[in-house]
């Protein structure tokens, strides 16, 4: 049985897995972004805390995905929920780090110019810092997304569904076709997301500073 045969016979299941995979990735990255962008902004205002938090997040990141999933399984049981929790946690670090670095790297004279001409702190953030850091933040989101696409395959292990399901099924039944049917699309998915988010990154980078960063 080739992949094509498999796809022809199981299109509905495959599409369902694909959609579920995309769904898991999207939700995890969105949660990650919602947590890490504000947290990153907060940390730029509390540099000492930042060192600690970033170091902590970095350590968490080094815990193998399987171990994390194992904990999640023990704590939350089987299903979508524990997978989303674990993947959200993983997606936090790249975005957090890029938000923090992006804003920290905004030249302090811009911030001071903003304050000096009468912007509130809020306005300095939204009119100066975030636009100038947008490219860096978007690149964090892109990195997170690509990682999450591949990590999400692990989620199949604890019954969250997605392309991982196919891979695990394949692994447990020694079926190469199933493995490929799960692995190939997830690799392609990573490329596609990366490309799309790259475009978005470019669009969100303010015109006046485009071209400086690829």
Partner 1 sequence: MIHFQNVTKRYGEKIVLKNLNLEIRKGEFVVLIGPSGCGKTTTLKMINRLIEPDSGRIFINGEDASKQNAVELRRKIGYVIQQIGLFPNMTVEQNIAIVPKLLKYPKEEWQSIVRSLLKLVDMPYEDYAHKYPSELSGGQQQRIGVLRALAVSPPIVLMDEPFGALDPITRDSLQEEVRRIQKKLKKTIVFVTHDMGEALRMADTIVFMNEGRIVQKAAPEEMLRNPADSIISTFMGRHITSGRQSVPLYAEDFMRTKVLKVPKTSKTLECIELMSRRDVNSLIVIEDDETYFGTVTIEEIKQHGKAGRNISELVSNETITIGRKEDARTALDRLLESAANYLIVLNDDLTVAGIVTRTSTAKALGEALWGEMPA
Binding residues for partner 1, rule: CB under 8 A, are: 107, 109-110, 112-120, 123, 127-128, 131-132, 206-209
- Residue 87 or 128: the one with the smaller Cβ distance to partner 1 is 128
The nearest distance, CB 212 to partner 1, in angstroms, is 8
Q: What are phi and psi of 77, to 5 degrees?
A: 80, -170
Which CB sits closer to partner 1, 64 or 116? Answer: 116
Q: How far apart are CB 207 and partner 1 at their closest, in Å?
A: 6
C-alpha separations of 101 from 23, 44, 48, 112 in Å:
29, 8, 14, 18
Whole-number minimum distance, CB 50 to partner 1, in Å? 23
Q: For 30-63, b where at least 16 C-beta lie within 10 A, e where not — what string? A: ebbbebbbebbbebbeeeeebeebbeebeeeeee
Closer to partner 1 by Cβ: residue 56 or 110:
110
98, two tokens: 């890029």
In the bound complex, what is the minimum distance in angstroms from residue 108's beta carbon to partner 1? Answer: 10
């Amino acid at each position: 049985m080739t992949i094509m045969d498999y796809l022809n016979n199981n299109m509905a299941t495959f599409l369902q897995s694909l959609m579920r995979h995309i769904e898991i990735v999207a939700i995890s990255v969105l949660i990650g972004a919602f947590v890490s962008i504000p947290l990153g902004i907060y940390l730029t205002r509390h540099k000492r805390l930042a060192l600690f938090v970033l170091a902590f997040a970095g350590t968490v990141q080094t815990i193998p995905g399987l171990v994390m999933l194992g904990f999640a399984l023990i704590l939350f049981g089987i299903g979508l929920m524990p997978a989303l929790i674990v993947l959200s946690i993983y997606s936090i670090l790249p975005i957090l780090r890029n938000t923090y670095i992006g804003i920290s790297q905004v030249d302090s004279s811009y911030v001071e110019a903003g304050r000096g001409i009468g912007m509130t702190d809020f306005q300095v953030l939204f009119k100066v810092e975030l636009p100038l850091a947008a490219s860096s933040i978007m690149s964090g989101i892109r990195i997170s997304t690509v990682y999450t696409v591949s990590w999400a395959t692990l989620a199949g292990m604890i019954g969250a569904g997605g392309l991982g399901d196919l891979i695990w099924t394949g692994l447990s039944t020694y079926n190469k076709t199933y493995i490929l049917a799960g692995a190939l699309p997830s690799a392609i998915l990573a490329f596609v997301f990366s490309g799309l988010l790259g475009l978005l990154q470019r669009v969100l980078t303010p015109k006046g500073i485009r071209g400086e960063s690829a």
